[in-house]
Amino acid sequence: MSMPEPQSREPVSRHLLSDEAAAELSHIPTEVIDFGEAPPLAPASPLAQGEVRAILLSLLLAMFLAALDQTIVATALPTIGRQFGDVENLSWVITAYLLSSTAVAPVFGSLADIYGRRATIIASLSLFIAGSVMCALAPSLLVLILGRALQGLGGGGIMPIVQTVISDVVTPRERGQYQAYFSGVWVSAGIGGPILGGAFAEHLHWSMIFWINLPLAIGALALLLPKMAKIPVYHRRRKVDWLGGVLLMASAMAVMLMLTWGGTRFAWLSPTILALAGAAVLLASSFIWHALRAPEPFLPLQLMSGTVVPWAMAAGGFAMGAMIGLTVHMPLYYEAVYHLTASQSGLALIPIAAVSVLGAAFTGRAMVKVERYKRIAIIGTSFSALMAAAIAVLTPLPLWLFLAMLSLFSIGLGTVFPVTVVSIQNAVARPQIGTATGAMNFFRALMASFTVAAFTAVLMIAFGGELQLGGTEHRHAIGTVASADMVAAFRWVFAAAAVMLAGSATCVAIMEERKLAGPEQSDPPPLEMAE
């Protein structure tokens, strides 16, 4: 059997696909499947289990790179500032990476659907390596910031491509069980990054935080590329809508700058923030106008509609926002209320960052065996919302009890991530998985930035705008705030987290629960190197 001629623009009939591929697409409405020049959808992956393990290990390594460079730089910033004699602009070393990595996530997701996974993973890792070298050799802070922006272009592409490649080699039903491995990577980077960054800056040289990326990135490529030729091909060559991509990235950067600067560097009603808000609205409106009229838009808006994708994105965004928002602000609470040191506060973040992996791992493994997988996330996020509400009402608590309740909160929160990722990838056509995955990561990053800004605004309002939440006066500011006042302010933060998790549970409940393609049962294979 053969596919329609490449010039055909008619939707592909299901009877032209292999039996297994047709079964996998049986739940997708025919009107959204328009492959055009797509190659035939391959049947089951021809990869052996050892090859799948090697691919997953290389993907874990690539993801570790992207996650590590969001955290490893922070503890080295004072040393970098002293060397370049510029402390005022140090925050741009982190901001530049976050801005560029967030803006390009949907771009690389779409490019993976157009040019294929191999070309885009090479491009993203190459940009990441080039940016790392530029940072390591930077003669000035300006060059270092530009290098971080270049590094972010590569790092922002790694995450959606990694998740897309996973969808190519693992069926939706089995995919959730790998979530714990990838969540563990983020936890390791979140905990180990600041420790490594501080050690390199203190005992070696700050440039080592960038040089270490080279062997890791090259190792990831060396592991991955020989196996990628055997991965089924699902991308479709088509004309790239560069105007749509530029408008999307520009609007994202305007939103991110507004959320990053608002309430901290500039007042929310300052001309700068208002100008950024206006630019964001104008650029986003232009993108939507263009996407509705372009024959093949960069990000098809109809992909963001339906009964699965928008609700799954919202559910995951609420949960990610609550987790990142608390992670950013909890050290302030620990130091002011429990009088912990900075390093002790870092360790006390483990219940938020690390324990959520347990919820993700349980849910991912359960999705292999249960048909009503959505219920796990509904129960988990509802329980998490109750824990956050209980903390808001009962605080202050003994530290051990507070950490225990925070751990329970994180376990429930972790259940939503595998369900939402797999549901999105299970609901769209194969040649659109990269686009949908990139859009999902983009939305989560925006929600995380919005929540951090919202929680900061809540605390600033509670303290009448007198609390300095960042910069060199951070420690002094903590000392000027009474413990009771900090507790009262954070009650609103915990209450906001409870509302967000309740919103996540509601979105999962509304989301359509579609049958996952793949075997009914599967024992998760150990993730070890093939012999």
Cβ neighbourhood burial of 192 (10 Å; 0-12, 13-18, 19+): middle
Sign of CA dihedral 92, 97, 102, 103: positive
Looking at residue 244, its pLDDT comes to: 77
Looking at residue 458, its pLDDT comes to: 80
Q: Full-prediction pTM beyond 0.85?
A: no
Structural Rg of the chain based on CA atoms: 23
For every one of its 531 residues, what pLDDT tens digit does the chain have, with 9 covering 90 and above?
333 333 333 333 333 333 444 444 444 443 343 433 333 333 344 566 667 777 788 788 888 877 777 777 766 777 787 788 776 677 777 778 878 887 787 777 777 777 777 788 888 888 989 998 998 888 888 888 888 888 888 888 888 888 777 777 777 766 666 666 777 777 777 667 777 777 777 777 888 888 888 888 888 888 777 777 667 666 566 666 778 778 878 888 888 788 777 766 777 788 888 898 898 899 888 888 887 877 777 677 777 777 888 899 899 889 988 888 888 788 888 888 888 876 677 677 777 767 777 888 788 778 777 778 888 899 999 999 999 999 999 988 898 899 999 999 988 888 888 888 888 888 877 777 777 877 888 888 888 878 887 887 788 777 765 555 544 444 444 555 567 778 888 889 999 999 999 999 999 999 888 877 655 544 444 444 333
Enumerate helices (H) and strands (E) in the chain, giving the number of each. Answer: 22, 0
Looking at residue 104, its pLDDT comes to: 80
Looking at residue 235, its pLDDT comes to: 56
Looking at residue 5, its pLDDT comes to: 36
Cβ neighbourhood burial of 26 (10 Å; 0-12, 13-18, 19+): exposed
The CA dihedral of 397, 399, 404, 405, to the nearest 10 degrees, is 30
- Paired tokens of 38: 């797509």
With tokens 């180990």, the residue in question is 192
Distance of CA 465 to the CA centre of its chain: 31
Looking at residue 481, its pLDDT comes to: 57
- Candidates 134, 135, 152; CA nearest to 98 is 152
- Paired tokens of 41: 């959808």
Looking at residue 320, its pLDDT comes to: 87
How far from 141 is each of 134, 198, 261, CA to CA, in Å?
11, 19, 20
Cβ neighbourhood burial of 466 (10 Å; 0-12, 13-18, 19+): exposed
Residue type at position 476: H
User: How far is Cα 354 from Cα 81, in angstroms, rounded to an integer?
Assistant: 31
Looking at residue 226, its pLDDT comes to: 76
- Candidates 233, 240, 241; CA nearest to 3 is 233
φ/ψ of residue 69, rounded to 5? -80, 0
φ/ψ of residue 117, rounded to 5? -70, -40
| Residue 368 burial (CB count, 10 A) | 21
How far from 521 is each of 166, 278, 365, 518, CA to CA, in Å?
18, 51, 10, 9
Helix (H), strand (E) at residue 411: helix 399-414
